[in-house]
Structure 1
Amino acid sequence: MCGIAGWVAFDQDLTQQRPVLAAMTGTMACRGPDAGGIHLSPHAGLGHRRLAVIDVEGGAQPMTVEQDGRLLAALTYSGEVYNHLELRAELEGLGHRFRTRSDTEVVLHAYLQWGGAFVDRLNGMFAFALWDARQEQLLLVRDRMGVKPLFFHRTPDGVLFGSEQKAVLAHPAVEAVVDLDGLRELFTLAKNPGQAIYRDLYEVRPGHVVTVRREGLTDRQYWRLAAVEHTDDLAATVTTVRELLHDIVRRQLISDVPLCSLLSGGLDSSAITALAARALAEAGAGPVRSFAVDFAGQADHFRPDELRPTLDGPFAHLLAEHVGADHADIVLDAAALIDPEHRGAVLRAADVPTGFGDMDTSLYLLFQEVRRHSTVALSGESADELFGGYAWFHRPAAVAAPTFPWIAAQQQVLGPNGLPRTGLLDPDLLAALDLPAYLGDSYATALAEVEHLPGAEGRERRMREICHLHLTRFVRTLLDRKDRMSMASGLEVRVPFCDHRLVEYVYNTPWAMKVFDGREKSLLRAATADVLPRKILERVKSPYPATQDPGYPLALRTGLRTVAGDPQAPVQGLWNRALVGSVLADGQDPQLTRGATEMVLALDSWLRERPVSLRL
């Protein structure tokens, strides 16, 4: 797992631009704390920051292939290809010779052998830039589920790119401008593929290849969620999911550095941890090491509710004991969560304000501690989107609503136009943003992408749409959050549930099979029943925890009061001054949500610390 950056310019000599490439690449030193490198040729400059995971000694980048002293191709690569051993064997049989054991070199040779079709053969999470010196073209490639990020900015004679926005923004020709569309993306939880908040900055869409030639850019989709008839019965479906999960976890345990799992005690993380423990035991290794986040005094402050009915701790300990894991709890207090230094680090990692507040900060601090012991971690991310774990999958009103179901669930609480992060925004700004119309357009675009089987109708047809929305619009926010917080700590997080083979199979499994016993994630429960204790199999979904320490919202209020008292605060023109004053005066305004306060404070810090120009 690494950070990549680069510049292609067909009308310039980039061999003289090392300082610019170094500045762009240097913004991502945290993503690659082990090494860095730059490759320069007349029209292409590639930068790389390395987190060494496979072939620690031999996998330096950017990596090149030459023939008779002539450059054929150069690659700067981030991610992991989990089938690289099989691909290497196949390529060796075709005459290729390798200098390293790295998966990076396998990707490079796969391109030389199969051309653009090579991406179809890759199983993994990746984002990379490959310069073909023979044809003078650049390929920007992103994995199917969008686990690894990749941004680009068109220039008059080429392109700039990087793993993070900050890498592209470090180029002197790029200005950090945010307009109304950028703010719309910030305030909604329905990520539009390709959008990147900053004006004229774009993401390579998941499952896409952007090719840059002298004539311009082309964008090709090499993978999508296609509708395929599911012919297996329930027993065969459960068996197939079980076998896929065993194979996926086994592959994702390959590492030349210490590896662990992130364990909350929920079904998803428990399944991954248990499968990892079994695979390690079968290989004569282990035990699996696991980590969980907890909060000081959480057991005393905890009050069960519909969203979080149970504490994580007891279930995490139960699973750790069940599989014999070497387990540790990372306990955080409210002071650490509100600490300006920690919150600033989170903002720098994310590049934009997220509004997740303590959940981002706790994730960052968890990863900081995990990194002291491990370089790679397995996570249960995306199981809820794939198997139907969220409560709104099972609420008829949310499913039937003419919008994203998670938005419909929020609006049942906040009102028909309510969004949790907009409660303190200026009314004139909200009117200019017109978020209901923006969400409506986004929803229509997302629905138009869904492919249906002939004759599909009723509940099965609608639930295919709901699943598609989650796998293309909802999970991307969570994957990006996990990537940014982990890579800010130099930690590689792998997500087994994003393996495209599993995604394709489960996506096409009828909804009736996914909930065959009337519960959420029935299919996943059945497929992992052989490795999990019954109490965890029966546990009700509980999302990533938030602190319930009463000191935390008090600290947020103090922060809000400080910003409100600063006439030079850059956020002043964006918030509802009267409402903020009312909230601070009585402290009981029902319109104020924690998410809205978090967003206002994050916006203020962002505008203070970053050279952002708002064009509204």
Structure 2
Amino acid sequence: MCGITGWVAFSRDLSQQSAVVGAMTDTLDHRGPDARGLWLGTHAALGHRRLSIIDLEHGTQPMLTPEQGPDGLPRAVISYGGEIYNFRELREELALLGHRFTTRSDTEVALRGYLQWGADLVHRLNGMYSIAIWDTAREELLLVRDRLGVKPLFYYPTDDGVLFGSEPKAILANPLARARAGGEELCDALLFLRSPGRVPFRGMHEVKPGHLLRIGRDGIREERYWSLEARPHTDDLTTTIATVRDLLDDIVPRQMIADVPLVSLLSGGLDSSTVTALAARTRAAEGAQLSTFSVDFTGHTENFKADAVRPTPDGPYAREVARHVSSDHHMITLDRGRLLDPAVRKAVLGAWDLPFNFADLDVSLYLLFAAVREHATVALSGEGADEVFGGYLWFSDPGARAAETFPWLKLGAHRGLDPRSLFHPWFIDGIDLAEYEADLYRTALAEVPVLDGENAEERRTRELGHLTLTRWLPILLDKKDRMGMASGLEGRVPFCDHRLVEYVFNVPWEMKNFGGEEKALLRAAAADLLPESVLRRKKAAYPSIQDPAYDRALITGLATAADGEGGAPLAPFLDGDAVRRLTDKTAGGSLSEFERILVESTARMDDWLRTYQVELTGIKGVN
């Protein structure tokens, strides 16, 4: 896991731009605290910050091919971040084709794979990655992002080339980039989804998951190399369960390859417990013990109040799984003071670079990962299982299934998570949020593959699965990546292996949910791994603090912004009466989790505009 950045310019000499490229690279030091590298050519410059995971002594980047062209330059240069889990098999294949290796790193495998197969290398990779390869002979930059978008990769076209980086801050460190936003960018920030390729900074984009870019003198060309396909599922239930288990038995050990300490995040839910149990088996076969980590809040378990999203507390279940698999378990306990610490909240915004958030979940995840980083460099987690196996309420809720928008927006609006509710109607109408949301939804639906013979109910379930994997999962993966890499912790997500995703995407709903039990397919595949209580446990969301004093502190900050104190950029657009209604509610109790997310997301957007000095353009009410 590393941070990458670079600059391509066909009308200037970049060999003299070490100061600028160095500044871009240094913004990513948290992603790669172990080493820093630059390579400067005439029309391309690459930067790299390394977090050493495999072959600690070697694998320095940017990595150059020993082969040179007629001009004496290396044939290709790579700056790469992530992990290629099948690099050993690829290395053996390339060696048989005559390639020689000087390191044990997957970086060299990617570089030599490019020399052998060109951009077709992407079809052979299993992993999470963002890759930049400068081909000196072709004078072409290749940017590649993994299939599910686990690793981020942003880019900013310029008049004569492109800027790119693992995070927006790397791009914004170049004088050619400007932090600007208009109505569309604020719509992106207000809606709780990630639209592939879109970024709330005007002029900036993301390489879409499963896509690559070719940047040459003739401009930027985008190519899609992977997408979910609709295929008939011909396996019976017994075979389907066995196939899912076989895949997991391969995926988890494969994702445990590392030359540094690796742990597992354990909530006590089905997803993380399954990953943990498989990882513990792998460690035991090696004669070692797996370490596991959970998060809790002071007094949370003792004073727990059940709700529809969290029917049970995590702590007792996490400890039960830890005992069951004989892991060395650590509970990280947080309190209100740490969650409200201004320095921590500033660090969380700096990790995101973008006005997205999951309320206190962001902050607690950041603090959890910082604590885990004191023990390990790599952490396995259960993200992706709900998206792959259909664990969310919107797969079964009639209102969500019938919604003519993203189903989580429909459910959220019913529970107080309406992004419009804290802003003046004239502002919401001025940025045309309703039409923007409708257009994004139409675009997303148009991408869903069609399987001949599906009835309307089956078709809708396929749509919900595709929307969840392509518009909801990306923001969860963003959160995991940003909060982990802020401390130099690499997160690995076995449920996002593209082979598992492809297979389960086409499994009929009656198999995924057989017997009427949520994620029954995964439960059956993990039946021999877990205690019965955990195997049957209902889904519980990541823990959230339950503390009225926390809510009062939150709303006080937003009310201050709404009053225009301190030059709050959002002040002209906020509805003071709506903010006061929430303020009054906290005086006698707590906000709902969805109201809390609404308050925090609005405050985050204001902080983002101020911190990044975002220039607002083309918005009603802005001079």
Common fold: TM-score over 0.5: yes
Residue by residue over 1:43-70, the C-alpha shift from the partner in whole angstroms, topping out at 9 and shown as x without a partner, is: 1100001100011110110001032554
| Superimposed CA distance per residue, residues 287-324 of structure 1 (whole angstroms, 9 cap, x where no aligned partner) | 11110010001023321011110000000000000000
Alignment of 1:38 onto 2:41: no
C-alpha deviation, 1:455, in angstroms:
1.6
Structure 1 partner of 2:302: 300
Q: Confirm or deny: 8 A CA contact 2:54 2:259 kept in the other structure.
A: yes
| Corresponding position of 2:242 | 239
- Which position in structure 2 is the counterpart of 1:403? 405
1:437 aligned counterpart, secondary structure: helix
CA deviation profile, 1:521-549 (whole Å, cap 9, x unmatched): 01000001111111111000011111002
Structure 2 letter corresponding to 1:11: S
Equivalent pair of 2:73/2:136 in contact (CA under 8 Å): no
SS at match of 1:301: coil
Query: 1:597 is aligned with what amino acid?
Result: V
Residues 584 and 278 of structure 1: CA distance in aligned 2, closer, same or farther (over 3 Å): closer
Partner amino acid, structure 2, of 1:535: S
Aligned-partner Cα distance in 2 for 1:217–1:328 = 48
How far apart are residue 430 of structure 1 and its match? 1.3
What TM-score results when the alignment is normalised by the length of structure 1? 0.97
Deviates more, 1:599-608 or 1:362-371: 599-608
Shift of 1:581: 4.2
The one-letter code of the counterpart of 2:2 is: C
Partners of 2:266 and 2:372 in 1: how far apart? 12
Aligned equivalents of 2:227 and 2:562: distance in 1? 47
> Shift in Å at residue 483 of structure 1?
0.4
- Residues 1:346 and 2:345 are matched in the alignment: no
Contact 1:355 1:596 in 2 (8 A): no
Partner of residue 97 from structure 1, selected from 90, 100, 104? 100
**Superposition deviation, residue 220 in structure 1:** 0.4
How far apart, CA to CA, are the structure 2 residues paired with 1:159 and 1:150?
13
Amino acid at match of 1:599: S
Q: Say if 2:384 and 2:496, in contact at 8 Å, map to a contact too.
A: yes
Q: Distance in 2 between matches of 1:465 and 1:564?
A: 39
CA contact under 8 A between 1:423 and 1:593: conserved in structure 2? no
Q: TM-score, normalised by structure 2?
A: 0.96
User: C-alpha displacement at 1:582, in angstroms?
Assistant: 5.0
1:220 aligned partner, one-letter code: E
In the other structure, the counterpart of 1:578 is 577
Equivalent residue of 1:66, what SS? coil
1:184 aligns with 2:182: no
Give the drift of 1:252. 0.5
Write the letter of the residue equivalent to 2:16.
Answer: Q
3-state SS of the aligned residue for 2:137?
coil
Question: Is 2:562–2:570's contact at 8 Å kept on the other side of the alignment?
Answer: no
Instruction: Verify: 1:366 aligned to 2:368, yes or no.
Output: yes
Quote the residue 2:212 is aligned against. 209
Check the 8 A contact 1:301/1:549 in 2, yes or no.
no
CA shift, 1:605, in A, is 2.1
Aligned residue number for residue 285 of structure 1 = 287
Deviation at 1:567, TM superposition (A): 5.6
Query: Is 1:313 matched with 2:315?
Result: yes
Alignment of 1:65-464 (within 5 A): 65-68=65-68, 69-282=72-285, 284-414=286-416, 419-464=417-462
Rounded to whole Å, the distance in 2 between the matches of 1:362 and 1:517 is 36
Distance 2:610 2:21 in 1: 26
C-alpha deviation, 1:76, in angstroms: 0.2
| Alpha-carbon distance in structure 2 between the residues aligned to 1:587 and 1:322 | 41
Contact 2:562-2:574 within 8 A present in 1 as well? no
CA 394–583 in structure 1, closer or farther in 2 if over 3 Å, else same: closer
Tell me, in whole angstroms, the C-alpha distance in 2 between the residues paired with 1:15 and 1:461.
Answer: 54
What amino acid is aligned across from residue 125 of structure 1 in structure 2? M
Partner residue of 2:468? 470
State the Cα distance separating 1:358 from its structure 2 match.
Answer: 0.9
1:439-474 deviation digits (Å, cap 9, x = unpaired): 211111111111111122232221111100101111
Structure 2 unaligned spans of 5+: none
Q: Is the 8 Å Cα contact of residues 421 and 595 (structure 1) preserved in structure 2?
A: no
The 8 Å contact of residues 265 and 317 in structure 1, kept in 2 or not, is answered as: yes
Cα displacement (A) at 1:281: 1.6
| Contact 1:257–1:375 (Cα < 8 Å) also in 2 | yes
Q: Secondary structure at the match of 1:298?
A: coil
Code of the residue aligned with 1:525 in structure 2: it is R
Alpha-carbon shift at residue 413 of structure 1 (Å) = 3.2
Aligned to 1:497: 495
Pair 504,186 (structure 1): closer, same or farther in 2 beyond 3 Å: same
2:64 aligned counterpart, secondary structure = strand
Partner of residue 25, structure 1? 25
Q: Which amino acid in structure 2 is aligned with residue 343 of structure 1?
A: R
- How far is the alpha carbon of 1:588 from its aligned partner? 6.5
Between the aligned partners of 1:321 and 1:567, the Cα distance in structure 2 is: 51
Count residues with an aligned counterpart: 611
Cα RMSD over matched residues? 1.6
Structure 1 spans left out of the alignment, 5+ residues: none
- Percent identity over the alignment? 53
Are the structure 2 counterparts of residues 587 and 299 from structure 1 closer, same or farther at C-alpha, using a change threshold of 3 Å?
closer
